[in-house]
Amino acid sequence: MSKRERLLVEDLDIEQPLAKSLKPNAGDSVEEDTLKEELDEDAILALLEQNAEEVVVENLTSQTLKKIVLQLERKKRVNLEQRARFADAPEKFAESELELHEQLLKLKDLAAEPKLLLEFACSSSDSGSGSNNNAGGILILINLLAHVNTDIVIAALSVLQALTEPDNFQLGEEEEEEEEENKEENSTVSAARFAGALVDGNLCEMMVDGFLRIEEKQSDEDGQGVKDALNIVENLAELNPKKSVVGQNSFGCNKKFLNFLLRRIRSTENDENRTYAAEILFIILQTLSISSISNTSEADDNNTSLNQDQRKPSATRIIEDLNVIDKLLKAVAIYRKRSPEDTNEKEFTENVFSSLCQLLILNTNNTLNSNSNSSLKSDNTNTNNTNNNYVAQFARNQGIELMVRILNTGNYSARLALKVTDVACRESKENCNAFVNQLGLKPLFAFFMGQGMKKKEVAASEEYFK
């Protein structure tokens, strides 16, 4: 076999049998020159390419998925047994942990197979029958978030992030050509079912408990693990917002998760995860705001005897208990003295101010629902109390005074403060009076005249000061 032929074999990394087929046996009388005459360069290349395709390409099927899940379960069981047996000798279970890590990452291939992805997630509801080898596969993945080794937790978060990408459920060109009218609906339903199966599998609690154990500043991998966790929440909120944000056992009802978001928002270090935390909080509050009218109306229709607090979604009650208004105002207070430093901090600032707006809008929606659905005198009393939630908290925490001070700076945050002031004054006479008493009309007229603002900023802010 010539040197060129050997290099071709090595570069394409094909199996050894093919290499042997190109080399004459010791007992043969065929010379190397004869081999060159029988197989020219084009023939060799064609043979190598054909063999390489046969070796490398392997589609993921339902059967191979079953094997992957069974192997994952087996490796997880072996690792746990060795950890219990050799608790004081990590080197004895290190190899099983590495094998578990490698097997876990193989599940990322599911992202390219939406049908298998849905089968993998939704079959876990039949796990008790034991008839389906895929049954419980998603539960195995979720339970690995409780693994002692945070490297396994990070790997599980990476897999979940890949599997929950909304693009996984987008239709291909061939699928769009077939039954265009029905396919889009089926894709949406599949995405919602997949997200719902994850939430039903107790993903929220397991994931929060898992990633809170990660020291994100310890290494880039740890920081990426927390980022993947936040990305999972964003993905699920897009796939099935009602189930993953508003419903029971959702991220919006998880007090530890909301506390984590608020803690990261109030941190002084300007990094990507702080900005991402602010964005996730905004998504949760926006989803609650959008769903508040329909949820409250349904509760009123079904439970007319419930008082106002009982009619609120549990996520809304948790947010009230956490005193989110006060914490968000403290987060934006630094911008009364300076402007955001870079693009990342500008995005963070926009998300925090937008979260304030969504809280005030949520208060307004709840008040409007109560006024339209309450007929009893006791309900009217509760309505007045409800009106003292977020808007009144904003006033008590001197929110208007802070917004006026930021407006006076005329910096990047000024137009964001104007937006919050607009929402805060819509349903509150107290906030309107406070705005006038704090000389808020002075910077407002400056906005009217466009002083210190670019044309694009004036156009974007006109709706708030008219």
Q: Tokens for 138, please give them.
A: 């998603």
Half-sphere exposure of 163 (CA within 13 A, CB side): 29
Q: Are residue 38 and residue 70 in the same domain, yes or no?
A: no
pLDDT, residue 45, reads: 67
Q: Is the pLDDT of residue 396 over 70?
A: yes
Q: At what angle do helices 3-12 and 41-56 cross, to 10 degrees?
A: 20
Is the pTM for the entire model greater than 0.85? no
The answer to whether residue 178 is domain-embedded is no
Q: Which amino acid is at 404?
A: V
The answer to whether residue 177 is domain-embedded is no
The answer to whether residue 66 is domain-embedded is yes
118 or 224, which is more confident: 224
pLDDT, residue 137, reads: 86
Q: Is the pLDDT of residue 197 over 50?
A: yes
pLDDT, residue 71, reads: 93
Q: How many helices (H) and strands (E) does the chain have?
A: 27, 0
**Mean pLDDT score of the chain:** 77
For residue 22, give its domain range: 3-56
Q: Are residue 212 and residue 151 in the same domain, yes or no?
A: yes
pLDDT, residue 38, reads: 59
Q: Are residue 356 and residue 451 in the same domain, yes or no?
A: yes
Q: Are residue 168 and residue 31 in the same domain, yes or no?
A: no
Name the domain boundary from 17, 33, 56. 56
Handedness of CA 253, 251, 284, 211 (dihedral sign): positive
Q: Which long-range contacts (CB under 8 A, 24 or more apart) does 427-430 make?
A: 427/363, 427/364, 427/367, 427/387, 427/391, 428/391, 428/392, 428/394, 428/395, 430/392, 430/395
Name the domain boundary from 56, 72, 91. 56
* 219 pLDDT tier (thresholds 50, 70, 90): very high
Q: Is the pLDDT of residue 162 over 80?
A: yes
Task: Give pLDDT tens digits for 278-331.
Answer: 999 999 999 988 876 555 444 444 444 444 444 455 777 888 888 899 999 999
Q: Are residue 75 and residue 223 in the same domain, yes or no?
A: yes
The answer to whether residue 438 is domain-embedded is yes
Phi, psi of 368 (to 5 degrees): -65, -40
Q: How far apart are CA 55 and CA 60, in angstroms?
A: 14
Q: Are residue 50 and residue 66 in the same domain, yes or no?
A: no
Q: How far apart are CA 305 and CA 175, in angstroms?
A: 50
Q: What is the mean pLDDT of residues 128-152?
A: 77
Q: How far apart are CA 442 and CA 418, in angstroms?
A: 13
Q: Are residue 201 and residue 77 in the same domain, yes or no?
A: yes
Contacts of residue 382, defined as CB under 8 A and 6 or more positions apart, other chains included, come to: 307, 308, 309, 370, 374
Q: What is the mean pLDDT of residues 432-458?
A: 76
Q: Is the pLDDT of residue 409 over 80?
A: yes
The answer to whether residue 118 is domain-embedded is yes
Q: Are residue 32 and residue 143 in the same domain, yes or no?
A: no
Q: Is the pLDDT of residue 33 over 60?
A: no
Answer whether 95's CB lies under 8 Å from 75's CB: no
Q: Are residue 125 and residue 48 in the same domain, yes or no?
A: no
Q: What is the mean pLDDT of residues 353-359?
A: 94
Q: Are residue 46 and residue 136 in the same domain, yes or no?
A: no
Q: Is the pLDDT of residue 416 over 50?
A: yes
Q: Are residue 381 and residue 446 in the same domain, yes or no?
A: yes
Contacts of residue 294, defined as CB under 8 A and 6 or more positions apart, other chains included, come to: none
Q: Is the pLDDT of residue 94 over 50?
A: yes
pLDDT, residue 457, reads: 55
Q: How far apart are CA 116 and CA 121, in angstroms?
A: 9
Percent of the chain with pLDDT over 70: 67
pLDDT, residue 52, reads: 46
Percent of the chain with pLDDT over 90: 43
Q: Which amino acid is at 196?
A: G
Number of domains composing the chain: 2
Q: How far apart are CA 171 and CA 93, in angstroms?
A: 43
435 or 317, which is more confident: 435
Name the domain boundary from 56, 71, 90. 56
Q: Is the pLDDT of residue 433 over 60?
A: yes
259 or 30, which is more confident: 259
Half-sphere exposure of 190 (CA within 13 A, CB side): 23
Q: Tokens for 420, please give them.
A: 């919050």
Q: How far apart are CA 223 and CA 391, in angstroms?
A: 36
Q: Are residue 31 and residue 162 in the same domain, yes or no?
A: no
Answer whether 408's CB lies under 8 Å from 335's CB: no
The DSSP secondary-structure symbol of 466 reads -
Contacts of residue 338, defined as CB under 8 A and 6 or more positions apart, other chains included, come to: 411
* Most confident residue range from 20-29, 236-245, 292-301, 361-370: 236-245
